[in-house]
Amino acid sequence: MKDEKIKKPYKEFIKNFLRRKIAVLSLLLIVLLILIGIFQPITLDPDLADYDNLLAPPSYAHWFGTDEYGRDLFNRIIVGTRLSLAVSLSSVFIGTFIGTLLGLVAGFYGGKIESIIMRSCDVLFSFPGLLLAIGIVAIIGPGLINIVVAISIYGIPSFTRIVRSSTLSIKKLLYIEASKSIGVSNFRILFIHIFPGTLPTLIVTFTMRIGTAIISAASLSFLGFGASPTKPDWGAMLSTGRDYIGLAPHMLFYPGLMIFLTVLAFNLLGDGLRDTLDPKLN
């Protein structure tokens, strides 16, 4: 009987989520992209050139056409899936981890600690996200690792504010007061009692933030701050393709389409999770 009560919330969540067909389709697309990124065929060579088909349009031999060196765009986009997802996911994971810790500490302890943390977040919030990322990369230098650092830093304040808000609400509940009265350690209260209550909002924000990170990473690579033009990064491919927009528009279209579909999938999934986790909408 006890096991049934434990499993019931998960069954309800799955049942409610499956009602949202668009979110389910988005999840399937994301899973497919992740599988492509992990298990991409080792036979794909993004640098293999076909010198007889430079800037060739889409065809049976080259589904997405070729670039100025005769490299197959389909191969490069498939290989670039791993690169783009790795940069965006790792940056959001880091930002979520640090932002969650700061939000828990600020909301639970309050006082000067909260003031220092939240005023620091206000300073970061005063800059547009992409502009802040450009400034950080300009200081520490270009490169994929530095892009991860930059996107992580400007993502921290959002998670800090969200987790702090949830912590302030949860710590006023009766069971938290009871835990304090019987001598439960602050560490246990924070991570066993309060943190699980922040997860629904955190999951939705995390999912939607991935889409923002993909756009930011692609934008930085497009501007020349990220991956080099020789790497199959979607943003770098867009940057190269703009020089051939009149002669070979497919060089812009397909990388842009992949960015659009991936970001749209994460945003729609986030909307579906938000609607599923909100009891007022079920």
pLDDT tens readout for residues 102-113: 999 998 888 889
CATH number of the domain that residue 115 is part of: 1.10.3720.10
Q: Which pLDDT score is estimated for 259?
A: 93
Asked whether residue 147 is domain-assigned, the answer is yes
Q: Which pLDDT score is estimated for 263?
A: 93
Please state which of the ranges 37-51, 207-221, 243-257 shows the lowest mean pLDDT: 37-51
Asked whether residue 274 is domain-assigned, the answer is yes
Residue span of the structural domain in which 162 resides: 26-32+70-281
Asked whether residue 63 is domain-assigned, the answer is no
Quote the CA–CA distance of 150 and 213 in Å, as a whole number.
10
Asked whether residue 115 is domain-assigned, the answer is yes
pLDDT tens readout for residues 216-254: 888 888 888 877 767 788 888 888 888 888 888 888 899
User: pLDDT band for position 183 (50/70/90)?
Assistant: confident
Domain count, the chain: 1
> Mean of the per-residue pLDDT values for the chain?
84
Q: Which pLDDT score is estimated for 5?
A: 47
Asked whether residue 11 is domain-assigned, the answer is no
Asked whether residue 161 is domain-assigned, the answer is yes
- Per DSSP, what are the bridge partners of residue 71? 49
Asked whether residue 1 is domain-assigned, the answer is no
Length of the chain as a residue count: 282
User: pLDDT band for position 134 (50/70/90)?
Assistant: confident
